[in-house]
Amino acid sequence: MSRPSRDQQRAQARAEREAAERAAQQQAQRKKRLVQLGGILAAVAVVAVVVIVAIGGGSNDSSSPTNAGTVSTTGDAALNAQAEINDRLSGIPQSGVTLGRKDAPITIIEFGDLQCPACAIASQQVLPSVIDDYVRPGKAKLELRDIHFLGPDSERLARFGAAASEQGKLWNVAELVWANQGQENSGYATDAYLRAIGNGVPGLDVQAALATRTSGTVRQQLAEAKTLARINGVNSTPTFLVGTGDGPLKTVGADALVSELQQLSAGQS
């Protein structure tokens, strides 16, 4: 048997090095998500109860962000927070990845992953006031850039959300998924699960969304999200970019988002 050439040895070494770098990056992202999660808990005391329930597994409290076991895949039962989410978003314009008026003076971009538990907590404890106090009155518009880096379930959820965005329903899907998450990378994002989520969104053509998950438009939207994240140095979720007009956007965590919006809103008055 012939020995590998020097070029082959170099190629093999390079492949091994790149694989090790990818593994290290994924580990760093997971650690950073845990740090961010801790920041959210410190900022919003009530979240501690949710996290204890989610981690301990000793309660069936539906406020937990990890409740895929309660999701009916037959469409005969309501999803966690379904009525609350649909009521909160009702009447707010949606177009593509954007929730709110396109001419709103403040721009908020969330880099998220629909499977991310820290994103779920931010959805429950931070976004309601952001939507009620800033998006609905037209002070800010909120974009979701799904960078789906946690695994296969993340990608399946991201594709379904992107497909729903073509019908102006991305934020309904995202909020319902965050309120009804399953165990990370357990394979819970099945077609039955996605159908149950879709059935909870008023006006969504679920079959059309399922059918267009691999469309060029969906692929482009998700690719643009990852490009934008890379340009802005975003490597964990949730991360927010906030700013006004054509000026630069500031990177903030979920724990600092509301205070940043308060400052920007005061500057607009």
Question: What is the tens place of the pLDDT at every residue in 91-141?
Answer: 999 999 999 999 999 999 999 999 999 999 999 999 999 999 999 999 999
> Which of 19 and 184 is assigned the larger pLDDT?
184
Q: Which helix (H) or strand (E) holds 119?
A: helix 117-125
Residue 67 banded pLDDT, cuts 50, 70, 90:
low
Residues 22-30: what's their mean pLDDT? 52
In the chain, pLDDT over 90 holds for what percent of residues?
Answer: 68
Residue 18 banded pLDDT, cuts 50, 70, 90:
low
Mean pLDDT (the chain, rounded): 83
Q: From residue 230, give the alpha-carbon distance in Å to each of 117, 147, 171.
A: 22, 10, 23
- The pLDDT of residue 8 is 61
- The pLDDT of residue 88 is 98
Residue-range domains of the chain with CATH: 6-268 (3.40.30.10)
pLDDT at 165 over 50: yes
> In one letter, which amino acid is 74?
T
> Which of 81 and 45 is assigned the larger pLDDT?
81
Q: How far apart are CA 199 and CA 203, in angstroms?
A: 9
Beta strand pairing call for 140-146 and 94-95 = unpaired
Residue 7 banded pLDDT, cuts 50, 70, 90:
low
CB 109 within 8 A of CB 234: no
Burial of 181 (0-12, 13-18, 19+ CB in 10 A): buried
Residue with tokens 């500031």: 250
For residue 238, whether the previous peptide bond is cis, meaning omega lies within 30 degrees of 0, is: yes
pLDDT at 45 over 70: no
Short-list 221, 168, 182, 195, CA closest to 75: 195
**How many C-beta atoms surround the C-beta of residue 6 within 10 A?**
8
Short-list 135, 46, 40, CA closest to 94: 135
Q: Which span out of 39-43, 65-69, 83-87 was modeled with the highest average pLDDT?
A: 83-87
Q: From residue 168, give the alpha-carbon distance in Å to each of 108, 172, 196.
A: 18, 9, 18
> Which of 239 and 35 is assigned the larger pLDDT?
239
Q: Which helix (H) or strand (E) holds 230?
A: helix 216-231
* pTM given for the model: 0.77
**How many C-beta atoms surround the C-beta of residue 169 within 10 A?**
23
- Digit-coded pLDDT (tens) for 183-212: 999 999 999 999 999 999 999 999 999 999
- The pLDDT of residue 246 is 76
Q: How far apart are CA 207 and CA 75, in angstroms?
A: 14
pLDDT at 35 over 90: no
Short-list 113, 119, 121, 153, CA closest to 54: 121
